[in-house]
Amino acid sequence: MIDQRFVGVWSTPVLNVVEKGAVRKFADAIGDPNPIYRDEAYAATTRFGRIVAPPTFSRTFDYGALPGCELEQDGLIHGEQTFHYHRPLFVGDELLCSFRLADMSFRTSADGKMVFLIYEQRGVTKVGEEVFTERMTVISREEVKS
Amino acid sequence: MTTSWEVGQWLPTLEKGPITQVDLVKYAGASGDYNPIHTVEAFAKEKGLGGVIAHGMLTMGYVGQMLTDFAWPLFDLTDYSVRFRAMVRPGDTILCKGKITRVAKDGDMTVATVQVFAENLSGETVVKGTATLRLA
Reported ipTM: the value is: 0.96
The answer, for A79 touching chain B at a CB cutoff of 8 Å, is: yes
Distance (Å, whole) CA B74 – CA B128: 24
Distance (Å, whole) CA A76 – CA A19: 29
End-to-end CA distance of chain A: 11
Assess if residue A84 is contained within a domain.
yes
- A50-72 pLDDT, tens digit per residue, is 999 999 999 999 999 988 877 77
Distance (Å, whole) CA A117 – CA A139: 6
B115 with B101: CB under 8 angstroms?
Answer: yes
Q: Which domains does chain B have, with CATH numbers?
A: 14-19+55-135 (3.10.129.10)
Asked if A55 lies within 8 A of B58 by C-beta distance, the reply is no
For residue A23, the distance in angstroms to the closest alpha carbon of chain B comes to 9
Instruction: Identify the CATH number of the domain in which residue A10 sits.
Output: 3.10.129.10
- B98-126 pLDDT, tens digit per residue, is 999 999 999 999 999 999 999 999 999 99
Q: How many residues in total does chain B contain?
A: 136
The answer, for A32 touching chain B at a CB cutoff of 8 Å, is: yes
Total structural domains within chain A:
1
Domain that holds residue A11: 4-18+61-140
Assess if residue A55 is contained within a domain.
no
The answer, for A82 touching chain B at a CB cutoff of 8 Å, is: yes
Assess if residue A52 is contained within a domain.
no
Cβ neighbours around A29 below 10 Å, total: 21
The predicted pLDDT at position A8 comes to 92
Helices B56-71 & B21-31, crossing angle to 10 degrees? 80
Asked if B58 lies within 8 A of A29 by C-beta distance, the reply is yes
Assess if residue A101 is contained within a domain.
yes
The answer, for A17 touching chain B at a CB cutoff of 8 Å, is: no
Q: Which of A28, A30, A87 should we substitute to test contact with B (largest number of B Cβ atoms within 10 Å)?
A: A30
Assess if residue A104 is contained within a domain.
yes
Distance (Å, whole) CA A105 – CA A90: 36
- b/e string for B76-103 if b means 16 or more Cβ within 10 A? bbbbbbbbbbbbbbbebebbbbbebeeb
